[in-house]
């Protein structure tokens, strides 16, 4: 894979250092993560996503989902049973751990088992304080006003 130089973006993309570091690390080291279990990532709405993992043969008790800020880990392990006398074993039932990097404000909405798939629904919930707001430019002696914020009103004192 080619090396990319992200330094021109540092001047106009403020606060994206972690993103640039992740992208740089991805280009340096090829992914060593195996393809098991296979999965899909789909966008189901403007701010909603779904991860579907093939976990045929696993019970919900054999799976764990751990969500941290910016990171999601799905792991599965089956208790050891007696070794069967397989003539052919094409269904993989080995333990796995799958990692997903999540954008800011991504939260797990829920998870369910559906026809041998583990389906994890995600939503991006941006706090009101982080949403864009219009900032009015003050003219002369007017105090600055920010749309969406209230200015404190001075109480009227008797005798004024």
Decide if 56 is inside a domain. yes
**What is the number of structural domains in the chain?**
2
Same domain, 3 and 60: no
pLDDT tens digit sequence for 57-67: 899 999 999 99
Same domain, 25 and 84: no
- DSSP per residue, 22-59: HHHHHHHS-------S-EEEEE-SSSEEEEEEE-TT--
Residue 73 is part of which domain span?
33-146
CA distance linking residue 120 with residue 127, whole number of Å: 22
- Give the count of alpha carbons within 13 A of 153, CB side only: 3
Decide if 160 is inside a domain. no
Q: Give yes or no for a contact between 63 and 51, defined as CB atoms under 8 angstroms apart.
A: no
pLDDT of residue 117: 95
- Give the count of alpha carbons within 13 A of 18, CB side only: 6
Per-residue pLDDT of the chain (160 residues; tens, 9 = 90+): 466 777 777 667 777 777 777 777 665 544 445 688 999 999 999 999 999 999 988 999 999 999 998 889 999 998 777 677 888 888 777 899 999 988 888 999 999 999 999 999 999 988 888 888 888 888 777 666 666 655 455 555 555 4
Same domain, 41 and 78: yes
Same domain, 11 and 48: no
Decide if 156 is inside a domain. no
**DSSP class of residue 3?**
-
Same domain, 47 and 25: no
Same domain, 63 and 5: no
Same domain, 10 and 88: no
Same domain, 50 and 92: yes
Same domain, 3 and 46: no
Residue 115 structure tokens: 């026809």
């Amino acid at each position: 894979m080619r090396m990319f130089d992200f330094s021109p973006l540092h001047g106009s993309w403020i606060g994206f250092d972690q993103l640039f570091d992740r992208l740089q690390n991805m280009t340096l080291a090829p992914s060593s993560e195996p393809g098991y279990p296979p999965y899909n990532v789909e966008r189901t709405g403007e701010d909603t996503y779904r991860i579907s993992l093939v976990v045929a043969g696993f019970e919900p008790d054999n799976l764990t989902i751990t969500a941290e800020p910016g990171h999601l880990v799905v792991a599965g392990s089956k208790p050891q049973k007696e070794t069967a006398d397989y003539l052919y074993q094409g269904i993989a039932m080995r333990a796995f751990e799958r990692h997903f990097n999540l954008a800011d404000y991504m939260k797990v909405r829920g998870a369910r088992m559906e026809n041998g798939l583990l389906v994890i629904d995600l939503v991006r919930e941006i706090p009101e304080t982080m949403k864009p707001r219009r900032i009015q430019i003050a003219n002369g002696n007017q105090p600055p006003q920010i749309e969406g914020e209230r200015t404190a009103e001075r109480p009227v004192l008797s005798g004024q």
